[in-house]
């Protein structure tokens, strides 16, 4: 029986991976952005200002704001030409080194992603629904780690905050990308903060440990509910989900297969594994306020065993 990533050593740390300050187009100074997340009970933050020439290619140094109870990971939002619809790429790169070079004139999105990945960063395709990332666009981005499957800011301003459409299409074709929720907070007039985050399972509240856990997929995403455990037992043909009290629990697979359980205050549910064997499944839990938590896609062998 396998448990991912809930039985791994360490504990879960709550953090946001997509945030902006006055170093690009945000309304608050970096120190104030960090303070806002710290005060809301987060454990870490990646401040990802727009890495563009007009902002002097900022890689905001948040190191001075770290202490024993809160830390930061250096990052930026990278941009380059071009999607099939002509829009720029938006790529969240978390874990960039301080000396990461500026983008060259006309450098493409896939090239920037490859450079960021080569430098050790966790690279995510940001808000794909908002600016229209297609499966063909994403296929050209061979070095991405993840898709942003929820973006608080664009859920509020364009009703295009959900990225699962792209994640599921790519997963159906066998592309093994992770899935994370974030804010894209600018602290402007839209309600763009404290609406979606990751819980990262790591053995220490340190940037290197958190980054390694992100790249390994040792996290789940949430708007409020907690996922306490997901186990896969091929011998018993069973998926078991444990969570905080919610209104419904859902298991979603490749194409149409899905199973659900719905009871007020449900905290545990079991589902057959067979409908999802040889492909993948993911779990969503939804509370009575409509807030969700999501696992990453969990990949299965033909016999139902979890693959790396």
Give tens-digit pLDDT for 109-139: 999 999 999 999 999 999 999 999 999 999 9
> Whose structure tokens read 């430098």?
119
Would 2-222 and 227-299 be classified into the same CATH topology? no
Cis geometry, peptide bond prior to residue 5 (ω within 30 degrees of 0): yes
Q: What is the pLDDT of residue 2?
A: 63
Give tens-digit pLDDT for 3-29: 689 999 999 999 999 999 999 999 999
Give tens-digit pLDDT for 217-261: 999 999 999 999 999 999 999 999 999 999 999 999 999 999 999
CATH topology of domain 2-222: TIM Barrel (3.20.20)
Q: Which residues contact 173 (CB under 8 A, 6 or more apart)?
A: 135
Task: For the chain, give every domain's residue range.
Answer: 2-222, 227-299
Give the pair of three-digit tokens for residue 220: 């789940």
Residue 54, classed as helix, strand or coil, is helix
Give tens-digit pLDDT for 35-44: 999 999 999 9
Q: Which pTM was predicted? A: 0.97
Q: Which residues pair with 123 in a beta bridge?
A: 93
CB burial string 77-105: b at 16+ within 10 A, e below: bbbbeebeeebebbbbbbbbeeebeebee
Residue 132, classed as helix, strand or coil, is coil
Give tens-digit pLDDT for 45-77: 999 999 999 999 999 999 999 999 999 999 999
Q: What is the pLDDT of residue 302?
A: 87
Pick from 180, 61, 202, 53: which is nearest to 122 by CA? 180
Q: Which residues pair with 229 in a beta bridge?
A: 242
pLDDT > 70: percent of the chain: 99
Class for domain 227-299, per CATH? mainly beta
**Residue 200: pLDDT over 90:** yes
Pick from 139, 149, 26, 43: which is nearest to 77 by CA? 26
**Phi-psi region at 232: left, alpha or beta (left = phi > 0; alpha = psi -120 to 50):** beta
Asked if residues 144 and 122 have their Cβ atoms less than 8 Å apart, the reply is no
Asked if residues 219 and 200 have their Cβ atoms less than 8 Å apart, the reply is yes
């Amino acid at each position: 029986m396998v448990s991912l990533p809930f039985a791994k050593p360490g504990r879960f740390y709550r953090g946001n991976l997509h945030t902006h300050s006055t170093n690009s187009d945000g309304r608050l100074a970096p120190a104030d952005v960090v303070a806002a997340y710290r005060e809301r009970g987060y454990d870490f933050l990646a401040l990802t200002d727009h890495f563009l020439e007009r902002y002097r290619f900022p890689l905001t140094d948040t190191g001075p704001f770290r202490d024993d109870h809160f830390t930061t990971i250096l990052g930026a939002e990278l941009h380059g030409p071009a999607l099939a619809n002509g829009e720029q790429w938006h790529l969240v790169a978390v874990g960039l080194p301080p000396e990461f070079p500026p983008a060259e004139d006309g450098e493409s999105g896939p090239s920037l992603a490859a450079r960021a990945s080569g430098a050790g960063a966790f690279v995510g395709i940001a808000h794909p629904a908002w600016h229209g990332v297609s499966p063909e666009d994403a296929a050209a981005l061979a070095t991405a780690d993840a898709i942003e499957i929820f973006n608080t800011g664009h859920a509020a301003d364009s009703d295009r905050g959900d990225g699962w459409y792209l994640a599921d299409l790519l997963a159906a074709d066998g592309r093994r990308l992770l899935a994370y929720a974030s804010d894209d907070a600018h602290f402007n007039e839209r309600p763009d903060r404290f609406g979606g985050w990751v819980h990262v399972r790591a053995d220490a509240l340190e940037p290197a440990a958190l980054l390694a856990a992100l790249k390994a997929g040792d996290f789940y995403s949430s708007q409020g509910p907690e996922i306490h455990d997901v186990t896969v037992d091929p011998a018993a043909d069973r998926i078991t989900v444990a969570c905080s009290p919610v209104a419904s629990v859902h298991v979603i697979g490749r194409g149409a297969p899905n199973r659900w359980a719905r009871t007020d205050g449900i905290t545990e549910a079991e589902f057959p594994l067979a409908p999802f064997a040889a492909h993948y499944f993911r779990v969503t839990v939804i509370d009575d306020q409509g807030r969700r938590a999501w696992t990453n896609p969990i990949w299965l062998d033909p016999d139902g065993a979890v693959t790396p």
